[in-house]
Each structure stands twice: as C-alpha cells, then as structure tokens.
C-alpha cells in the first residue's frame, strides 16, 4: 500500500541528509586538495573542475609527510600489538586463573581508566628523561604497552567462554597456554580485532605525548607534522588538505580491513527474532 511507503521514504531521506552532512567535510577537503592554488579563492571551489594533484607530491617532498607517516605507522602498529598481547594475557588470567586478591587487582586495573592522562604525564615524562629515552621510539611506544580498557574488554570476552569448555580442554591435556592459543583466542577474535583497531586509532591520533618526548624532526609523528605544515603553509590550503587526506588514508584502510570483525563484535549481543 502507498501509505506504507511514506515512513520508508522519510527514513531514507533522513539517511541521505545525515550522509551529506557527514561527507561534506570530506568532499570539501578533496576539492580543495585537488584544485590549483589560484582557484581556491573562487566561489566554485567545491564544484568539480580542473584537477591538480601536485599538492599530494608536494606534501611528501616539501612537508616531509612520508617520514611522519612512517613514524606514526611504526609507533601505532607497535602500540597496538603490545596492547593486544598484554590485554590477552591479563584478560585470560583474570578470567580463568584463580589467585588470591584477583578481584582487588582487577579493580586496580579498571581504576586506571578513571585517571586522566594529564595526571600522569609529568611523571611519565620524568621517567622517560631519566631513562635517556628522549628522541627514541621507546619513548613513543613503551609507556602505552599496557591498556586497562583492553584488559577489561578481553576479560569480559573470555568470561563468555563456557567453563565446561576449559574443563574439557584440560581433560584432553591442554594447559592454560594451549587452551589460550588453540581455543580461547580464536573464539574471541572479533573482540581482539576491535581492540586492535581502537588501539591503532588512539596511537595514530596522539599529539601531546609525541610532542613532549621528541625534539628531532625525524621522529615526529604525522599529527605533529600536520600541525607544523598548517602553521608554516597557512596560505597553501591545497597542500594542507592534501596532507590531511594522506594522513587519514591509513585509518580508512584499517577500518575497511577490520570491518567484518568489528561488525561481528558490535552485533555479538544481538538477539535474532
């Protein structure tokens, strides 16, 4: 019946409007990045026309964006790997290994989530200075090797595994390490993937900490590079937008690569009806 079309039509119209609002900044960045500098002051800057992709090459050459992207990629992958590894081990222990004071220790781990970064940043900076790690990859990576949220997330995921499965694995001769590798980790793979993406995005978007522990431009990350580029080339908007799009490209690749795992994690608690 025609009267049933209107709710569906209104829903799709709302989705189109929301999508347009969300994608408008992206469209603006693409148009500005691909327009010659002389055309940026015109009113038709957002209308497709002449295309000049030279600003992307200039971002790598003059702005040293390639070095900044490499540093961010190394740091983000290392942090995500360490956080996933430590969270898997800690989450499994809190879920399957009984020991005295386990609840207290887990509460202390969760309590770290309520501590603002600004509270510990001075102490962490002094520690890094005492270790002689200024202008090193260790300073950018090691302070973030463990993640309280990751431990909490994977502990909850491990708790969803039936205890009977652990008992059956023990009967078959699997110890904790064998059960973790061959049974538990494959079962919570969506949660691990979600944590890996979340850790990567947090590490990629860091600005304050890399700014504090690095003075050498060769160790600066992409967020600092974008800030410096925007400050030094404030009039070359096409160059700034091109660098911004290139910096966002790895995030897009990660989200697309882990889309299925993220979808499985987000719908894990859904009930079919």
How confident is the prediction along the chain (273 residues), in pLDDT tens digits per residue? 556 777 788 888 999 999 999 889 888 888 888 887 777 766 677 777 777 777 888 878 777 888 899 999 999 999 999 999 999 999 999 988 888 888 999 999 999 888 888 888 889 999 999 999 999 999 999 999 999 999 999 999 999 888 888 888 888 888 888 888 888 999 898 889 889 999 999 999 999 999 999 988 889 899 998 888 877 776 778 888 888 888 888 888 888 887 776 666 655 544 443
Nearest C-alpha neighbor of 247 from the set 196, 194, 204: 204
What's the mean pLDDT when you consider all of the chain?
A: 85
Radius of gyration of the CA atoms of the chain, in A? 24
Torsion of CA 207, 209, 212, 214, to 10 degrees: -80
How far apart are the C-alpha atoms of 67 and 82, rounded to whole Å? 23
pLDDT at position 273 is 36
pLDDT value for 270: 45
CB atoms within 10 A of CB 137: 14
Rounded Cα gap, residues 242 and 34, in angstroms: 8
Contact, 80 vs 150, CB < 8 A?
A: no
Side-chain-side CA neighbours of 194 within 13 Å: the count stands at: 18
pLDDT for position 11: 87
C-alpha 155/C-alpha 180 separation (Å) is: 12
Give the predicted TM-score (pTM) of the model.
0.84
Task: Name the nearest CA neighbour of 80 among 144, 135, 143, 4.
Answer: 144
199 closest CA partner among 145, 132, 129: 145
Identify whether the C-beta of residue 209 lies closer than 8 Å to the C-beta of residue 137.
no
């Amino acid at each position: 019946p025609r009267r049933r079309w209107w709710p569906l039509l209104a829903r799709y119209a709302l989705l189109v409007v929301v999508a347009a609002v969300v994608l408008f900044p992206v469209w603006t960045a693409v148009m500005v990045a691909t327009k010659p500098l002389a055309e940026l002051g015109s009113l038709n800057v957002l209308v497709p026309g002449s295309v000049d992709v030279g600003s992307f090459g200039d971002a790598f050459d003059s702005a040293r964006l390639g070095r900044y992207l490499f540093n961010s990629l190394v740091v983000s992958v290392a942090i995500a790997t360490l956080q996933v590894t430590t969270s898997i081990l800690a989450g499994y222990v809190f879920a399957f290994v009984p020991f005295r004071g386990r609840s207290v220790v887990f509460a202390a781990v969760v309590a770290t989530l309520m501590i603002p970064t600004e509270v510990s940043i001075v102490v962490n900076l002094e520690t890094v200075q005492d270790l002689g790690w200024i202008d090193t990859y260790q300073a950018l990576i090691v302070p973030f090797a463990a993640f309280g949220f990751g431990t909490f997330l994977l502990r909850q995921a491990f708790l969803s595994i039936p205890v009977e499965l652990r008992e059956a694995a023990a009967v078959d001769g699997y110890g904790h390490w064998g059960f973790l590798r061959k049974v538990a980790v494959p079962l919570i793979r969506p949660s691990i993937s979600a944590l890996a993406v979340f850790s990567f995005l947090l590490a990629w978007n860091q600005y304050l900490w890399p700014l504090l522990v690095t003075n050498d431009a060769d160790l600066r990350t992409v967020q600092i590079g974008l800030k410096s580029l925007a400050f030094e080339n404030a009039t070359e908007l096409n160059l700034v937008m091109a660098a911004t799009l290139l910096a966002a490209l790895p995030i897009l690749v990660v989200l697309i690569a882990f889309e299925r795992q993220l979808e499985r994690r987000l719908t894990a608690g859904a009930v079919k009806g």
